[in-house]
Amino acid sequence: MPTDFSMENMPHTSPHRKPVRSRSISSWVRCRDELLSGIFRELCELGPACRRQVLQQHFSQGQRAALEQWMLRRRSTPKPRGRKRKPKGCQVSKWKSCRPARKQDPRGALQLKGVVCTTNPTSGKQSFYAVAYLGILRFTSRKTQDLWEVTWYREALLCLVHRVRDLHGAMEERLLCAVTEALPSVRALGLRLAVRLRPCRWVAQPLSTPTFVATNQAGLQQALHAWRRLHTALEDLRATESAGPPSSEEERSWMALRGALLDVEAEKGLPRQLRERRLAQAQHSRAAHRQRLLERWNRQRMAGEDRLAQAGRKRDRGFQQRGLRLLERLARAEQGLRQAKGLRGTTASSSSTFGP
């Protein structure tokens, strides 16, 4: 069968046509990027020192450059945004409501939020008063036997607290302004102020100052003065607290807070020696709790150090198993990419040679 090998019968190949090996090059590039992504994840699991050692010992200069270029491309590529899920609301059935039922007190009274029930031991009658908090400042109302009236007291206290929060300036100025604006309602509910704080490490029960009648200017000034002293001492104590054993600075801050509380109580007429003895007993009974905290902190610290060491060894073994295998595959991918580019150059030169 005759065959004509003349140039006219050969297929024409345009230099602008897509090369035959372009798909192979793109596949090698995609494979290299996937391997670099896996190597990047493995390196992120290592610590800084171990990562630096691995990069120096196991990576060639070309592999380090390829990893840096991949990281730059990854940083410049915008991340796809996922679809936002609509929040599922509370599904209320036709017959049931999601609102929890009010808890019934064993003594027969309803447990309302912000309402405290007390019982007279002699007569057995119950009385209620409202409570609201603003930080360590405690707002209370007068006692009453009418539950609906104490509910109104609770709403009035909440309005007063929200008004103090909305104002700007120092705490003393905001509280004075809010009380002056709502003076008729303040006198109606018999506003009383107290400072209530709870240094859990030193005492078990909350520490509270005597109540100050805030319906007149003198009582309000006394309450604000006590709040300022205790607030400053409490902030100093919180600044020196740590998860470990109490330091000498923390102990000095606690003694300063304790002294400020005793001074406030002594100014209200309470016996200082009796209060100091009771406070010392409360602090001594809390010593076992502080010892348990210290032991738990020691155990957690030792366990954390063991976990870090074990995780470091595990990461090193994991990189020896997975990372080095990825590096070998990356070297083969780079070799295949170079061969594909070489074949592409050979094909392009041959097409230009036999072209018209």
pLDDT means per 10 residues, the chain with 356 residues, are 44 45 68 82 77 79 83 74 53 42 47 83 87 91 88 89 89 88 82 90 89 88 91 91 83 92 91 91 89 87 81 67 75 78 68 51
pTM of the full predicted structure? 0.57
Residue 43's Cβ-count burial label (10 Å; 0-12, 13-18, 19+) is middle
- In a shared domain, residues 210 and 321: no
- In a shared domain, residues 157 and 185: yes
* Per-residue model confidence (pLDDT) at position 9: 46
- In a shared domain, residues 270 and 329: no
Rounded CA gap, 342 and 338, in Å?
6
* Per-residue model confidence (pLDDT) at position 33: 81
* Per-residue model confidence (pLDDT) at position 87: 52
* Per-residue model confidence (pLDDT) at position 15: 47
- In a shared domain, residues 272 and 235: yes
Structural domain span for residue 144? 115-298
- In a shared domain, residues 136 and 271: yes
* Per-residue model confidence (pLDDT) at position 235: 92
* Per-residue model confidence (pLDDT) at position 38: 82
Which two tokens mark 193?
């102020």
Rounded CA gap, 219 and 223, in Å?
6
Structural domains of the chain, count: 2
DSSP labels for 298-350? HHHHHHHHHHHHHHHHHHHHHIIIIIHHHHHHHHHHHHHHHHHHHHHHHHHHH
- In a shared domain, residues 205 and 319: no
* Per-residue model confidence (pLDDT) at position 110: 53
